[in-house]
A and B are shown apart, each in its own frame.
Chain A
Amino acid sequence: MIGFVLRRLLQLVPVLLLASTAIWAMIYAVPGGPIGAIAGDNASPEQIAAATAQFGLDRPVLVQYADWLWNAIRGDFGMSIRGRAPVLELIGQRLPATLQLAVAATIVSLVIGIPVAIASALRPGSWLDRVLSAWSAMALGVPTFWLGILLILVFAVELRWLPSASAYVPIWENPIGALRNLALPALTLGIYVSGILARFLRASLVSELRADYVRTARSKGLPERQIVGVHILRNALLPFITIVGLMMANFIGGAVVTEAVFTYPGIGRLLIQAITTRDYPLIQGCIVVILVLYIAINLAVDVLYAYIDPRIDYR
C-alpha cells in the first residue's frame, strides 16, 4: 500500500515540476517581461530599479528560479502587488469559502444525480429514462453562468427570497444565513455536475446490467432488489468514485464562473481579480495552491479506489 502511494507520488513529481516551472516562467512571457509585470507598463526608471532590487531580478535566471521554487515549496509566494499583503494570506482568507461551497455543491449533485441515474438505468429506453436522460443533458448543456442568472432572476429579483449576491457565512456560526447564501450557487453548481454524474452512473449501471454475473445472480433466484443493490451497484459505484473525486477537485480548483455569477468571495474570484489587475505573484500563488489541491484530491481518489477495488493489486 505504501509502495503504491509512493509510486503515485513519484509519478506526480515531474508533473508538478513542469507545471510550476511553467507557472514561474509565465511572468517572463508577459509583454514587458517580469519588470513590466511587477512594476506596471508605465513605470518610471526609479520604480523599475526599485522593483528590480526588491525582487532580485538582476540575479541569474536560474538563481531566481531556484529561489522562487524554494520559497514556493515553503508556501511563500511573496507580496501581492495590488493587495499589499502576503499572497498566501490572501488565499487563506478565501479558501474556507471555496471549500464550503464545494462541499455543498457535491451534496446537491449526489442527491440529484444518483437517484436520477438509478431510476433511468433500471428501465433503459422507457419514458422515465428518456425524461431523466433529457434532464441530465439539459443540466449539462445549460452553462452555469446562465443557469445562475436565471436562478437569480427567479429567486432574488422576482420572488425576493434569497440574496442575489452571496456572501461567505461560516455554516457553524450562522447555519440559516449560510444556507441562504449558499443555496443558489450550490444549486447552480450541483445541478450542472449532477448531469455529469447521472449520465456517467447511468451508463455504467446499464452496462453492468448486461454483465454475465447478473444472469448468474438471477439464476440463483436472488431478489431483484439484492441484484441491483449489491451486485450491480457495487460494480458501478467503483468507477463512479473517480468521477465524484474529479468533480470535487474541480470545485476546489475554483468554481470560477459560479463564484463570479454570485460575486461569492472564493478563491476563483480572487484569481479573476488578480488576472484583471495583472497581479502576477497573486496569480502564481493562486494557481499553485489550486494545482496542489487538485492533484492531491485526484491522488486520494486513486488510492481510495485501489484500496476498495479487490481487483487492483496495489503492492
Chain B
Amino acid sequence: MVDPVLSVRGLKVDFGGEGRSVPVVRGVDFDVYPNEVLCIVGESGSGKSVTSLAVTGLLSETARVDGSIRLCGIDVTTAAPETLRQMRGRDVGFIFQDPTTTLNPVLTVGRQITEGEVAHGRLKKADAHARAAELLREVDIADPQGRAGQYPHQFSGGMRQRAVIAMAMAGQPKLIIADEPTTALDVTVQAQVLAVLARRQAELGSAVILITHDLGVVAEVADRVAVMYGGRIVETAPVAEIFASPRHPYTRALLRSVPRIDTSDSRLDPIPGQPPIPGALPKGCAFQPRCAVGRDQPLCVAEEPSLSAVGDNRQSACHFAEKLPAETMAAEPRIHAEAPPSKPEPLLAVEGLKVHFPVKTGVLRRTTGWVKAVDGVSLSVNPGETVSLVGESGCGKTTTGRAIMGLIKATGGSIRFAGRSIRDLDGGAMRKARREMQYVFQDPYASLNPVKSVEDIVAEPLRIHGIYDEMGGARRIAELFDMVGLSRTMLGRFPSEFSGGQKQRIGIARALALQPKLLILDEPVAALDVSIQAQVINLLQDLQRELGLAYLFIAHNLSVVRHVSDRVAVMYLGRIVEESSRDGLYDLPVHPYTQSLLSAAPVPDPAVRDTRRRIVLEGEIPNPASPPTGCTFHPRCFRATPLCSAEAPVFDRYLDFPTRTACHHAGPLAEGHRNIFAPGVLEAAT
C-alpha cells in the first residue's frame, strides 16, 4: 500500500491562554492518500477548519497543538518554523473560503499566484508573468496575459476563486487543503469551480482535503468522508457507504434533516437542540443530548465512545454503532397544505414590477444609466400558498421582495394586495396596509435590535400600531413565543443571548404579531446550520397550516425551495424566466437557465454522480447596468441562436404545461423523460 501524504494521530487543539482554555479539536486521527479526496463534514464549531489549519502549522500563537502530524515525512508539531515554511511552499496548497478577502487587494493577481514559487527559488522573477498567465489559463480564465496584471477587485468572485486554485496548484503540491471553497459562490459558479478543481487535481494526482458543510458537495466530489462533531471525528467511511448506511446517529440524523432536490419529499426530521459550543460540551458523548439512540442512556452519558472499526475501511465513534437501523430516509410523508382547488382571488398580485436604480457618473454626478434590478416581474400568491422566488445573487429576488413590501420604491408596474393597489400609497396608508403583510429577514443576527429585550422586539409592531393592549398585551407576546417554540422564561433576555436558530424564531414571532395573511421570507434559513435549518423549515410549515398563511419564499437554495413550495418562479437578471408548479418545474424544466441551475446543484447522493452530468454554464451573471441585448441569458445559453440576441422573448404559457416561460427555444431536455434527475437525461441533452 502507498504511504499516506498526511497522517494525523491524536490531534488536540486548545485555544485561549491564562486560566480558561477551550478545547476545539479533541483527539482526531486520519490519513490522506495520494490522488484521494477526503471530505471533512461538520457544522459550525465542529473543529473542521481548525483541524485543517493545524496540520500545516498555520494556527495563531494562542492555539496549543498536541498530537502527531506527519505531512510528507515532516513532523509538523515539532518542526522548526523555517522547515514548516519550506514545506508549505513545496508540499501543500491552500484554498480558503472567501475569495474576496483571501487575495491581497493591492498586489496584482499574477504576482500573488507566482510569488510562492519565486520565494522558494523555483521561478525567476523575469519569468513570473508568463508563468502566472500559464497558470491562469489552466484554470480556464480568458485573456490570461491581461488578467495576470490586474488586481483582485477587477475579478469576479468565481474568477478570484479560480485564481486562488491556480495559486494553490502553482507548486504542484502533494496535498491541497480546500476550506469551504465554494460556500461563498453561486451554484452555477460553484459547478465551474468544482470542475476546475477536480480536473487540476486529477492532472497533478494530489491528495485533497475538502472541508464543507454541504452534503451535496460531499456526494459530488469525495472519495472518503470524515464527519466531525464537537471537535472529534465521529464517523469515517468511503463516500458511498456514508450515504447508503451511516453508522453514527449524527451522520444519520444529518442526512435526514437535509431537504432533497431530486425527490418528492417527506417531512424533514430535524436534529433537536443546538450544536455544542466548544468549552461547554456535554458530558460523555458530545452528541448524546441530541441523539435519537443514546439520549440519556447511562453508557452514553458516562463515557465518550472512541472511534473504532465497524467493518472494512470504516470507523464510527458510537456505543451503539452495530445496532443502528439501516434506513436513512424518514418514512413519514410530508403533510402538504394542498392549494385550494377553486381559483380564488389572489392575495398578492404583482404585474410588470420594475425597480430601476440610477447610475451616476461624471463631474456633476448626472444619471447616465439605470441598473434594472427588477425589470418586469409578474407573480401572484394565493391565500395559504407558498410561492418561491429562486435565483442566484444579483438576480433581483430580494429587491422584488422589498419592493412589494414598500421598502424600496417601485419604478413601474402594479402591486395589489387583497384586491387593493398598494403601490404609491402614502406613508400612513402604506403603514396600515403593511399590517397584513410582514417580512422575515435572512440574517437573524442583524435583524433584531441588540439594545432591546426580545419581549420588546416582538411587541414593537403592536406598539407602533397602537394596538398592544387591544391585542392582549403581554399575554399575546407569550402566546407568540409558544407558537414559535420558545420558552416564556426567555422573554426578558436580549438578542445576544440567543443562538441563530432561536433568533430566527424571534424574527418569525415578531412578523406574526400583527396577524398578517402573507409573510415575505427572505432567505430565512440561509444563515443557519443544516440541522437548525430543518427545525425552522418545519416550524414555518406548521405555522402555515395552523394560521392559513401565504408565503412568498425568497431563496437561492434549490433543495429548500423544492421542499417548501407550491409554486416556483426562477429569476435571472431582474426577470422571471420560468414559473411553474413545484413538481412541474423541478421534474420538467423547459427554460435552459432553469435546466442549467438544476443540473449544477449538487445532489446528496453519490450513487448518481457518475451517471449524472452537469451543464456547466460559461461565465457569470452579467452586470445588470448593461445587460445583454435580446434575451439576457443568451451569452451563456447552450441553445442560443441569432434570434435570441436580437429579440427578447415574451413570458407566456408553454404548451399545455402548468408552466410559463420566457424563451424562444423552450422545451424539455429530452423527450419522453419525466425527471431531469434521472440518469442519462442531461447527457442526451448536451
Contacts and interface: CB of A to CB of B under 8 A. Distances in A.
Interface of A: 3, 6-7, 10, 211-213, 215-223, 226, 230-231, 234-235, 238, 309-311
B539 interface: no
Interface of B: 56, 58, 85-90, 92-94, 96, 98, 101-107, 112, 115-116, 119-120, 151, 153, 164, 167, 362-363
A248 B92 CA distance: 47
Contacts of A234: 104, 106-107
Given A216-B102, A221-B89, 6 more contacts: A3-B362, A213-B103, A220-B115, A222-B89, A230-B107, A310-B105
B185 to A, nearest CB: 16
A7 B56 CA distance: 50
Contacts of B89: 220-222
B107 A231 contact: yes
A215 B105 CA distance: 14
24 contacts: A7-B363, A212-B96, A213-B103, A216-B96, A216-B102, A216-B104, A218-B88, A219-B56, A219-B93, A219-B94, A220-B88, A220-B115, A220-B167, A221-B89, A221-B120, A222-B115, A226-B115, A226-B119, A231-B104, A231-B107, A234-B106, A234-B107, A309-B106, A311-B153
A85 to B, nearest CB: 41
Contacts of B112: 216
B106 A311 contact: yes
B119 A221 contact: yes
B625 to A, nearest CB: 14
A309 to B, nearest CB: 7
A230 B112 CA distance: 11
Given A217-B104, A220-B116, A235-B105, A311 B363 contact: no
A241 B300 CA distance: 61
A65 to B, nearest CB: 27
Contacts of B90: 221
Contacts of A309: 106
B361 to A, nearest CB: 8
Of all A-B residue pairs in the complex, the 9 with the closest CB atoms, nearest first, are A221-B89, A220-B116, A219-B94, A221-B88, A212-B101, A213-B104, A310-B151, A216-B102, A221-B85
Contacts of A217: 104
A311 B112 CA distance: 16
Contacts of A220: 88-89, 94, 115-116, 119, 167
Nearest to A234: B106
Contacts of A212: 96, 98, 101-102
Contacts of B116: 220-222
A250 B354 CA distance: 50
B119 A311 contact: no
A296 to B, nearest CB: 19
Given A10-B363, A223-B85, A310-B153, A216 B103 contact: yes
A219 B85 CA distance: 8
A238 to B, nearest CB: 7
B447 to A, nearest CB: 26
Contacts of A6: 363
Nearest to B168: A219
A72 B398 CA distance: 55
B135 to A, nearest CB: 13
A217 B101 CA distance: 12
A215 B96 CA distance: 9
B98 A215 contact: no
Nearest to A212: B101
B88 A213 contact: no
B82 to A, nearest CB: 9
A221 B86 contact: yes
A10 B94 CA distance: 47
B366 to A, nearest CB: 12
A125 B90 CA distance: 33
Contacts of A238: 106
B536 to A, nearest CB: 30
Contacts of A221: 85-90, 116, 119-120
Contacts of A219: 56, 58, 88, 92-94, 96
Contacts of B58: 215, 218-219
Nearest to A230: B107
A213 to B, nearest CB: 4
A122 to B, nearest CB: 12
Nearest to B89: A221
Nearest to B93: A219
A182 B212 CA distance: 63
Nearest to B103: A213
Nearest to A315: B361
B363 A3 contact: yes
A211 B105 CA distance: 11
Contacts of B167: 216, 220
Contacts of B362: 3
Contacts of B107: 230-231, 234
Nearest to A309: B106
A169 B84 CA distance: 57
A311 B92 CA distance: 30
Contact of B151 (A10, A211, A311): A311
A216 B94 CA distance: 7
A234 B105 CA distance: 10
Given A216-B96, A310-B153, A222 B102 contact: no
A217, A220, A223, A231 pick with most chain B CB within 10 angstroms:
A220
A234 B102 CA distance: 16
Contacts of A211: 101
A216 B102 CA distance: 6
A110 to B, nearest CB: 21
A218 B61 CA distance: 14
B30 to A, nearest CB: 20
B155 to A, nearest CB: 12
Nearest to A238: B106
A311 B94 contact: no
A7 B119 CA distance: 42
Contacts of B96: 212, 215-216, 219
A212 B120 CA distance: 22
B56, B93, B104, B112 pick with most chain A CB within 10 angstroms:
B104
Contacts of A231: 104, 107
A215 B90 CA distance: 16
Contacts of A216: 94, 96, 102-104, 112, 164, 167
Nearest to B120: A221
B102 A213 contact: yes
Nearest to A6: B363
A223 B116 CA distance: 9
A292 B555 CA distance: 54
A216, A221, A222, A310 pick with most chain B CB within 10 angstroms:
A221
B109 to A, nearest CB: 11
A216 B90 CA distance: 14
Contacts of A310: 105-106, 151, 153
Nearest to B363: A7
Nearest to B59: A215
Contacts of B101: 211-213
B466 to A, nearest CB: 44
A221 B92 CA distance: 9
A70 B102 CA distance: 55
A218 B105 CA distance: 16
A285 B526 CA distance: 62
Contacts of A10: 363
A211, A219, A231, A238 pick with most chain B CB within 10 angstroms:
A219
A313 B385 CA distance: 47
Nearest to B170: A220
B260 to A, nearest CB: 33
A13 to B, nearest CB: 12
A216 B165 CA distance: 12
B365 to A, nearest CB: 8
A222 B84 CA distance: 11
A221 B117 CA distance: 9
A213 B153 CA distance: 14
Contacts of A3: 362-363
